[in-house]
A and B are shown apart, each in its own frame.
Chain A
Amino acid sequence: MKESINITIIDREDVPHEIEVPLGIDLNLMEVGKGSELPIEGTCGGMALCASCHCYVQSEHDIFDRSDDEEDMLDQAFFVEDNSRLACQVKMTEAVDGLVVKLAEVGD
C-alpha cells in the first residue's frame, strides 16, 4: 500500500504543477488543488454544488463514473467536455496515481 501518489494539475495559464498527495487522509482533488494555492474556488466546500472546481482529465485514467449530483451540476456549468469532472468528486486513491488534470475556465 502506497503512502502517497503524484498528480499534476495544469492551471489556466497552462503551467503544470506536480503535487505529491498523501493517501489515507481522504483527500479529494479540489482540496489538493486548494491546498497547493492553485486558483480553485471550491465555493460549496465539496458537495458538487457549485462547479467552481471544474477540470478536465487529460491522462488516461478512466474516472468518469460521475454521480447524479455531479452530472446535475455539470449541466449548470460551462465549457463542459466529455472529460469534465468536478475535482471535489475525484477521490485521491492509488487508482489515480499519475493523474493529469487541467483547470477549466470559469464563466462570468
Chain B
Amino acid sequence: MIETDIAIVGAGPVGLFTVFEAGLLKLRCHLIDALPIPGGQCAEIYPKKPIYDIPGYPTILAGELVDNLMAQIEPFKPTFTLGERVEGLEKQEDGSFILTTSDGTKIKAPVIAIAAGLGCFEPRKPPLENLAQFEKKGVDYIIKDPEKFRDKKVVIAGGGDSALDWSIFLADVSSEVTLVHRRSSFRGALDSVEKVMDLAKAGKINLVTEAEVTALSGNGKLNAVEITHKKEGKKKTVEVDNFIPLFGLSPKLGPIAEWGLNITKNAIEVDTLDYSTNVEGIYAIGDINTYEGKLKLILCGFHEGTLMVQSAFKRIYPDKKLSFKYTTVNGVQGFE
C-alpha cells in the first residue's frame, strides 16, 4: 500500500502545482490519473495549443506548461499512479482514507484532493446497440498489446491519428485490416495518411471511406460488423474477429460521483474558505469544483490548491503551528 500525506486524484496542472504548495509545508503527495501521462487535458487534449492567461507567461503551450510544472515540483518528489482510474474510497477509523484504483492499487492518505478536472478520460464509444455485449469479446477501445490481434481479422473505425497509426501497425500483424472512416479524407499527420493510402493501394488495408460501422453481430463473441456507406446507404457485412473503435477520449465524472459528495451539474460543491467538500478530509480543486463565482481557469485552480494545502496541513497536524514563508526568502527546500 502506498502511503502519503495528500492523495491527489488527477495529475492535471492544478494537481501538479498543488504538489509544490504542499511541499513547501513539508507535505508529501501521490498523484493518480487515468491517463498514462501527467498533464490532464493539457497533455491529452491540447498540448500544442497556446495558453495566454498564465501569469508571467505572455504565451505558453499547454504541453510546455505541464513540463514546467513537472520540473517545478521535482524537488518534492511526488509519486504517481498513472493509467489507473480511482474507483473506491474507504474511510478508516483513524480518519484517513484508502483509495483503490481500477488495477487494485491502494493509496492511504489523511487528505484527499480531487483535482480531476472534467473527470477521467474514457474512450468515446460509438452508439451501437449491442456494443457493451461484445466488450472484451471482440470489441476493444484501447490497444494495450497489439499481439492480441496477430493473424486476426480486424476492423478499425475512426479518422484520427490513432486510427491511422494502428491501421498501419496492424497491417503487418493482423491477417486482415479494414479501416472505416466517415469522410473521404483524413486529417491525421500527413505521413500517416500517405502510408495508409499506400497500404490501401497495395491491398494491405481495406479502406472504406464515407462509411460507418452500423451494427455488430456474433454469438457470445463478435464475428461480423455491418458497414453502411453513408451516401448510397449500401450495407455490407464483414466477418471479423475484432472491432476497434478509435474516436478519442472524453471525460466522465465516474466513480467520484458515488463518494457522497455534494454535486451540482457534474461539479463538486466546496467551501471557498479552503475548498473543502462536505466530507471532512476531502477537498476539490480546479475545474471539478463549483462555488459562487467559479471560473474554470488554470490560474484559479492554482490559487485553490494553494489555499487548500494550508487547511490540509491543519487536518494532518492539528497541534503544529504553521508559519507562512515566502519562497524568495527561504528558497525551496526539497525532500531527500
- Spell out A's residues near B (CB within 8 Å): 43-45, 47, 49-52, 68, 71-72, 75-80, 105, 107-108
Contacts and interface: CB of A to CB of B under 8 A. Distances in A.
Contact of B127 (A51, A68, A75, A108): A108
Nearest to A107: B127
7 contacts: A52-B250, A75-B159, A75-B160, A76-B160, A78-B124, A107-B127, A108-B127
Nearest to A50: B250
Contact of B45 (A44, A75, A77, A79): A44
B290 to A, nearest CB: 14
Given A76-B158, A76-B160, A71 B118 contact: no
A100 B303 CA distance: 41
Given A78-B247, A107-B124, A107-B127, A43 B118 contact: yes
Interface of B is mostly: loop
B125 A108 contact: yes
Contacts of A79: 127
B36 interface: no
Interface residues of B, number: 21
Interface string B155-191: 0001110000000000000000000011100010000
Contacts of A51: 250
Interface string B50-80: 0000000000000000000000000000000
A47 B42 CA distance: 12
A100 to B, nearest CB: 23
Given A43-B250, A43-B251, A50-B250, A75 B125 contact: no
Contacts of B183: 71, 75
Contact of B160 (A49, A52, A72, A105): A72
